[in-house]
Amino acid sequence: MLQIKCFYFNPFRECCTVASDESGEAVIVDPGCYDDQELDTVTSYVGRNGYKVVKILLTHGHFDHLFGVTSLAGLYDVPVLMSAEDISIADNSGYFSKVFGVKLPDTSFTAPAEKGGRLTVIKDGDIIEWGAGRKWEVIATPGHTPGGVCFLDREAKLLFSGDTLFAGSIGRTDQPGGDYDVLMKSIFERLMPLDGDIEVIPGHGPCTSITDERTKNPFLLPFNEPADEE
């Protein structure tokens, strides 16, 4: 059975998730651990449960999702999975750090392998295998960033939406690389057709479901339908 533990880190309350199953393996999604205390929160949780971390997965390359990536990838000696289109976003984190007044994340994981990098490039349609037969689908959802992706576990009815889709909102598109029209296309064509009972874990804020976002999200008006009255 899939076990999910969400942590909310850094000044932006970014959602870092540790997913594990009965195999004892675990993956970490978007480790935005800002300081040693937040890193220790993740490593302590992993350690006391005896998990073996096998991969780090990134929904996109924005700075607030990257603060703990290089440290955790080195500690657990694991690859970091991210789309190629967001490498430049990650490598230009200095822009965002300056704009938002936070420290610069260590993005050396994007370096070539011969220089110590740990990046494994993923693309739409890839299947990420881990744990006891887990198969997570990579769904390309550009718009918030050029290479944004979501991770879907169809068996567990779970979607990691990153900053593409939030409870009652959508990702911002006013930063470099953002495109509102592309984002809306991604949401309507790639996410809204999914089963309504799929739980959504966004990159910020509370969890939601595909049905709730179809019917209640004010940014997705074409999907808003009045509830049936008794």
Tally of domains within the chain: 1
Q: For the chain, 230 residues long, give each residue's pLDDT as a single digit of tens.
A: 999 999 999 999 999 999 999 999 999 999 999 999 999 999 999 999 999 999 999 999 999 999 999 999 999 999 999 999 999 999 999 888 888 999 999 999 999 888 889 999 999 999 999 999 999 999 999 999 999 999 999 999 999 999 999 999 999 999 999 999 999 999 999 999 999 999 999 999 999 999 999 999 999 986 555 555 44
Whether 208 is covered by a domain: the verdict is: yes
Whether 228 is covered by a domain: the verdict is: no
Whether 172 is covered by a domain: the verdict is: yes
- Return left, alpha or beta for 177; rule: phi > 0 is left, psi -120 to 50 is alpha, else beta: left
Whether 230 is covered by a domain: the verdict is: no
> What gap in Å lies between CA 187 and CA 164, rounded to an integer?
7
Residue 182's domain comprises 3-223
Check which CATH number belongs to the domain holding 55 and give it.
3.60.15.10
Paired strand residues for 28: 18, 56
